[in-house]
Amino acid sequence: MLDLLFDDADDAAFFAGLHRHHDGAHRQPGGLPRLTLPPHAPSRAWLKVEQALAWRGWDTPELQGRLALDLGCAPGGASLALLDRGMRVTGVDTGDMDEAVLRHDSGAFRHLRTPVGRLDPARLPAGVSLILCDINLAPPEVLPHIERLQRALRAPRLILTLKLNIPRWRAAG
């Protein structure tokens, strides 16, 4: 497939690229659908999770009815995206959730107001299909919690947003 990207300005540059389409890949340039944050979404985390699901090919109906664990869920953008896809969501965050999540039509959201470090996996529902983490902590602080939870829950899917806000981490790649 030939991709052409250009701006509306008369003197703007354009970019051309070629890619082979295969099952599970989106036809848009870069392999991802172009999304716009919907007005009902409480945060940009809605876009993050939708792009991640599309990139992995998980934006299919097979997640409907499945359980997601959303770590760092407040104010609820990612949780809302998952609820809109028909998932059940257990959100973990000490912060407040947006009303769009708390009053979602599905009623499939449960909020645990606890820090992730105090979360006991034995008290979580069985059968977590997706662990989503968008906690504003440095990787050395958050990754041990993810490992501990994943060892107990064995979720087949993980989406992690790591905050590389220390200059030496950004330059290491």
For strands 2-6 and 14-18, give the pairing: antiparallel
Paired with 29 in beta bridges are: none
* Active site annotation includes 163: yes
Which residue type, as a one-letter code, is found at position 160? Answer: L
Please answer whether residues 75 and 43 qualify as being in contact, where contact means their C-beta atoms are separated by less than 8 angstroms. Answer: yes
Residue 155 backbone class (left: φ over 0; alpha: ψ -120 to 50; beta: rest): beta
Place of tokens 């599309």: 54
For strands 88-92 and 109-112, give the pairing: parallel
For strands 67-71 and 88-92, give the pairing: parallel
Annotated catalytic residue, options 163, 165, 167, 171: 163
Count of CA atoms in the C-beta half-sphere (13 A) of 11 = 0
Catalytic residues: 163
